[in-house]
Chain A
Amino acid sequence: GAVVSQHPSWVICKSGTSVKIECRSLDFQATTMFWYRQFPKQSLMLMATSNEGSKATYEQGVEKDKFLINHASLTLSTLTVTSAHPEDSSFYICSAGDRGEQYFGPGTRLTVT
């Protein structure tokens, strides 16, 4: 099946700094990708839809200026957590669709100290 990768797999950053997470579709092109956040022992929460060549659309309650999304090519979407705070510590997961199925990346664990 199709493969979605994420980089890095884990990252530790200090409060106030920004961190970028990459999501790549390795063997297919994706005009749309999705970003989710998952807190420990909780479900995945959809944050935003990343659209290639246009602005991302954010779910209600998600700050677009804090979670910057760039979908510059058909195989890459990036999520930048700006001015990170400890409460942003979470597991961030992306997904991309191919031929009617949705494939998820392995996730990025972000810890903000």
Chain B
Amino acid sequence: GESVGLHLPTLSVQEGDNSIINCAYSNSASDYFIWYKQESGKGPQFIIDIRSNMDKRQGQRVTVLLNKTVKHLSLQIAATQPGDSAVYFCAENMNFNKFYFGSGTKLNVKP
């Protein structure tokens, strides 16, 4: 499959600070991206998605930015909370809902 990778394998932030998790993708033809959160021993949980015709999308405390020029995604979490501690994956939709996942970033929120 195509390569979707992350710049930072581990990110530690202080509770209340903002977090930024980055992701690079390789297929310029991909048109749909999703950020997932995975807690230990559980399946991935949908956080937010974005289509390639958008540059930015906001949810509750989360924002996803898409830069198609450099094939880069970022997930911003505002006022990070201990419950945000998990592994975060970006996933790239190749076609027919087949998703290829990046290597993941572990977010540690320090109280």
Contacts and interface: CB of A to CB of B under 8 A. Distances in A.
Interface of A: 1, 6, 32, 34, 36, 42-46, 49, 59-60, 93, 95, 97, 101-107, 109
Interface size class of B (residues with CB under 8 A): 20 to 34
Contacts, number: 52
Interface of B: 1, 34, 36, 41-46, 49, 89, 91, 96-104
Given A43-B101, A43-B103, A109 B41 contact: yes
Contacts of A93: 43-44
A60 B94 CA distance: 15
A63 B46 CA distance: 29
A58 to B, nearest CB: 12
Most buried by A among B43, B96, B102: B43
A32 B96 contact: yes
21 contacts: A1-B46, A32-B96, A32-B97, A34-B97, A34-B99, A36-B101, A42-B103, A43-B101, A43-B103, A44-B101, A46-B99, A46-B101, A49-B96, A59-B1, A93-B44, A95-B99, A101-B49, A103-B46, A104-B45, A106-B43, A107-B43
